[in-house]
Amino acid sequence: MSTANDKNFEAEASVAPKVDTLGLVRKAKAGDLDALQQLYVKYVNRVLSFVYRMVGSKSEAEDIVQDTFVSAYQKMSELKEDAKFQSWLFTIARNNVYQTYRTRGVAMVSLDHPAKADERPVAERVAAKSKTPEAAYLSDELDHVIQSALSLLNDKQREVFVLSALKKLSYEQVAEIVGRSVGAVKMDIHRARLVVRERIKNYLRRE
Amino acid sequence: MDCVECQENLSAHIENELPESIQEQVSRHLHACRRCDAEYQSLTTADQLVSDHFMIEASPVLWTRIEAEIRASATDRVAATIPAKPTPYGRRLSEIFGRFSWRAWAGAAASLGLALGLTFFVQQQRENHRLDQAIQSYIMERDKVEQNHLQADQGQDLANTDEYAENPFVIEDRHKMENPFKL
């Protein structure tokens, strides 16, 4: 599975402060596609992870993320506060996720037939990530455990938990994205954490 | 703090959401109790696993797909703004309309409208006049017929008066009659 490792997070964290996000948003508003690409590089993994954890299929998640960035570029003029670009982007992604739910009738893919995050053959993925087969297997299994834990949550709990689990999103930003109060969001995140922790704790005990 | 109380507060302790005094009590209990500490370690490990495996990376081709769709939709929008190529008939019309300024076309349209309005008004006036004449002649004819009927009725009434002028109960030579009761 193509999980982002710590090195990627560190790289993103070290690059992020240097990027003038506001400047990029202003340029993208003026139609600068290069600026949008830089914003894409900065946010795509977080948006993709959110969408993937909500729909359970990477190929479907990438389609949704594609629609999200295309919509964002076309509706840039509707963004009133440039500083809130990240929340606005997640709101578009969230709307697209719920649109997908409505189209297919169920929220997440069945746990009986869980979608893999990466549909490529295992050998190819292992080669691509330079991981040992054991590491790839463990990664896939952990991903399945996380996904099965998320499937125990209702839609509201899942979305706030997933958003809060992404780095750099505060309770206030999560509340803004989902259009709920900070108190209600905190409560749902707490309940969701209990469920997910319990599920993973049981998995670790079995191991 | 006992084990039950500690485990109840464990999640809140991890999230650093407890008041400072309770946060310290939980910490002290965790140092002293191996069972609760094991529970704490499993929860924090679970959090760490979620954190480490939560993010996924986008395929390298995703941006290419996004860029291609944006460029395609931009091309579609530009194509939609270009006017359609005029047909020969449309071109001919365009040439005719292009010979004169819009003021000339507006003046011609106003003149045409005025002429049509005047024609309509005159036609209406004529029609009204014809209707007035017809109504007038009808009224005159009707009055004449009524007059004739009235005269005829009056002659009949006089004739009837003459007919009933004589009293049918009057006996002209009443005095000449003999008294039937006279003995």
Q: Is the per-residue pLDDT at A94 higher than 90?
A: yes
Out of B40-49, B85-94, B108-117, least confident range = B85-94
The pLDDT of residue A38: 93
Q: Check the CA dihedral B78-B80-B82-B88 and report its sign.
A: positive
* Topology given in CATH for the domain delimited by A6-206: Rna Polymerase Sigma Factor; Chain: A (1.10.1740)
Which one of A8, A42, A62 would you mutate to disrupt binding with B, by most B Cβ within 10 Å of its Cβ? A62
Mean pLDDT of A40-67: 91
Of A52, A143, A165, the CB nearest to B51: A165
Instruction: Please answer whether residues A48 and A11 qualify as being in contact, where contact means their C-beta atoms are separated by less than 8 angstroms.
Output: no
Residue A194, C-beta contacts closer than 8 angstroms, at least 6 positions apart: B11
Q: For the segment B157-169, what is each residue's pLDDT rounded down to a tens digit?
A: 665 655 555 666 7
Domain-wise residue ranges, chain B:
1-55, 101-155
User: Which chain B residue has the Cα nearest residue A198?
Assistant: B43
The pLDDT of residue B156: 67
The pLDDT of residue A112: 44
Residue B47, C-beta contacts closer than 8 angstroms, at least 6 positions apart: A193, A197, B14
CB contact (8 A) between residue A70 and residue B73: yes
Tell me the chain B residues in contact with residue A2 when contact means C-beta distances shorter than 8 Å. 56-57
Out of A11-20, A69-78, A120-129, A158-167, least confident range = A120-129
Please count the residues of chain A: 207
Name the more confident of B125 and A194: B125
CB contact (8 A) between residue B54 and residue A53: yes
Q: How far apart are CA A38 and CA A12, in angstroms?
A: 12
Residue B74, C-beta contacts closer than 8 angstroms, at least 6 positions apart: none
| ipTM of model | 0.75
Mean pLDDT of B8-35: 86
Which one of A36, A139, A193 would you mutate to disrupt binding with B, by most B Cβ within 10 Å of its Cβ? A193
Which one of A39, A60, A195, A197 would you mutate to disrupt binding with B, by most B Cβ within 10 Å of its Cβ? A197
Name the more confident of A107 and A3: A107
HSE of A82, CA atoms in CB hemisphere, 13 A = 12
Cβ burial of A197 (10 Å; 0-12, 13-18, 19+) is: buried
Residue with tokens 């997640």: A90
Report how far apart, in Å, the C-alpha atoms of B136 and of each of A66, B139, B141, B143, B147 are: 86, 5, 9, 11, 17
The pLDDT of residue B82: 61
Name the more confident of B54 and A177: A177
Out of A4-18, A176-190, B138-152, least confident range = A4-18
What does pLDDT average to over chain B? Answer: 81
Q: How far apart are CA A37 and CA A21, in angstroms?
A: 12
Q: Is the per-residue pLDDT at A117 higher than 50?
A: no
Domain-wise residue ranges, chain A:
6-206
Q: How far apart are CA A113 and CA B56, in angstroms?
A: 20
Instruction: Please answer whether residues A166 and A50 qualify as being in contact, where contact means their C-beta atoms are separated by less than 8 angstroms.
Output: yes
Tell me the chain B residues in contact with residue A166 when contact means C-beta distances shorter than 8 Å. 54-55
Instruction: Please answer whether residues A43 and A89 qualify as being in contact, where contact means their C-beta atoms are separated by less than 8 angstroms.
Output: yes
